[in-house]
Structure 1
């Protein structure tokens, strides 16, 4: 079992390259924009990988398309029964978009506290939404159980090698455009995004530093990697709702994060709020809290990265009007 896991971890690099060829006609090659403002503020050469301008407004479309296109080739009959997934919003939106493109139905399970704006976007896609549980993990468990009972496909938001490879295509694009990158900052929830990016980039150049960034209010992967095993702990309300919540036992992302993530930075809610406002005020870019985490992480330890070539993965831009108002009111 351990050897099989080792083999899968090692193969992610090739899986990312295959995923890129598979999905490139369905997703945007997002800009890698030089940030004069952040570069001036930090003393580094800072580039923003703007997944906030991706199809459906977040990186999640990459993993969703990679998985569903593979299923379309490998299990077309089962795919006709439809997909069940669980999501705080962005993954569900991505699955709805990819599902419509590939002509398969999608049912989305979300926790009861899903943001209103993401709920409204899901409804634009005529999503069938089941709200269940107080935490995304409860919704994931219920979704997986329902899929098993109905003999349908469960599409995890992170705990899936093909989803992780799809997210890793961001690393492919960063390296193709900026091979001299020294450090890549990535927001972490379940670990699918950073896992795919890290596995790819570490194979291209082991000296590239991968920095995992989490809110202090929800830092399960950080605590798990530190402990050497998945460690469940309570998560609290955070502006970074896209990374909030627990991790499934046995998640395939854990060994990848354990091996390839070089360092971790935790940020508090005020730092995330300040970072989102910075991006609005200085860059005129609307980003969500989970994207603000990487900006806040760099700003909180800027002396450590002075003089380096930095890529920040701006993972999404689906910020609710209510949250936007709260952030603006606190800064203006």
Structure 2
């Protein structure tokens, strides 16, 4: 619990710091759960995945644990810290495309050519179940939580949270958060279209910059989520700086999206005990100056 955060938000806030997780994000949970369930035959030709960065590290780490070669396709603009960390876990990295979706297409083409086993970053039940352990731990540690705020890109973490929470504590609200520049799940949830973005803006939260959400994840989200909200790029940048200055913790844009939603009062006014999933901390330190410039435009709400 953060006293400083409580003062700024006017709520009692509990932070689930997945930025301190092995590989720097929650993604290790789903990747490890999936890879450990694979048969020897599925591992024989290696593993392949597409990722904006965090899933890449999770799959690379899990593949190394099973002594299986891993190839990861990542967008060309992926932060260097994520690329280097993925290579550090022994994976072969191929930088392709301008965003996750283009890297995903390239990875699928390579998977068809080689016969490698594809590890989807979010639209896979074993991956979703692994991500569900985040919320399970939160409820065990802080049963008084009445609202959980979750960043969402493809929807794996949000879907896992929903399965864990709504099966045991349906009274707890679950709010998904996206950048206003990449709101595919929000658009689909609001019923405006099928959720496929016709325009995908640039966002400092590259970890949740997904053009097409998962079919499995969207079925779960449509069935159980209480609301989807968006935050601006300025609010995300301000949240990154807030966590660095006030909590002495560097987090990435995706994790900061959930923080921003609470700091800027995008959650229900009746929510009093809020759990925030700070999904990752693999931030490109070179973007701090950009955050400072952006955050000056929208001061933190208090």
Which TM-score applies when normalising by structure 2?
A: 0.93
> How many equivalent pairs are there?
295
CA deviations on 1:15-46 (whole Å, 9 max, x unpaired) are xxxxxxxxxxxxxxxxxxx0111112222110
1:102 and 2:66 matched: yes
1:209 and 2:176 matched: no
CA–CA distance in structure 2, aligned partners of residues 177 and 229 of structure 1: 38
For residues 55 and 241 of structure 1, do their structure 2 counterparts lie closer, same or farther at Cα, with a shift above 3 Å needed?
Answer: same
Which TM-score applies when normalising by structure 1?
A: 0.85
Q: Quick check: 2:205–2:257 contact (8 Å CA) kept in 1?
A: yes
1:51 and 2:18 matched: yes
Structure 1 counterpart of 2:282, from 315, 318, 330: 318
Runs of 5+ consecutive residues of structure 1 not aligned to the other structure: 1-33
Structure 2 counterpart of 1:242, from 204, 207, 213: 207
1:36 and 2:10 matched: no
Between structures 1 and 2, the one with greater helix share? 1
CA–CA distance in structure 2, aligned partners of residues 307 and 40 of structure 1: 15
1:273 and 2:252 matched: no
Q: Name segments (4+ residues, structure 1) moved above 4 Å.
A: 328-332
Partner of 2:220: 256
CA–CA distance in structure 1, aligned partners of residues 258 and 267 of structure 2: 15
Q: Quick check: 1:230–1:254 contact (8 Å CA) kept in 2?
A: no
RMSD: 1.8
Partner of 1:128: 92
1:90 and 2:57 matched: no
Provide the secondary structure at the position in 2 that maps to 1:206.
coil
CA deviations on 1:116-161 (whole Å, 9 max, x unpaired) are 2211222222321122222211211221232123222100111111
Partner of 1:68: 35
For residues 148 and 319 of structure 1, do their structure 2 counterparts lie closer, same or farther at Cα, with a shift above 3 Å needed?
Answer: same
Q: Quick check: 1:43–1:302 contact (8 Å CA) kept in 2?
A: no
CA–CA distance in structure 2, aligned partners of residues 254 and 330 of structure 1: 31
Q: Quick check: 1:42–1:305 contact (8 Å CA) kept in 2?
A: no
Structure 2 counterpart of 1:147, from 93, 105, 111: 111
Partner of 2:291: 327
Provide the secondary structure at the position in 1 that maps to 2:13.
strand
Runs of 5+ consecutive residues of structure 2 not aligned to the other structure: 297-302
CA–CA distance in structure 1, aligned partners of residues 34 and 267 of structure 2: 40
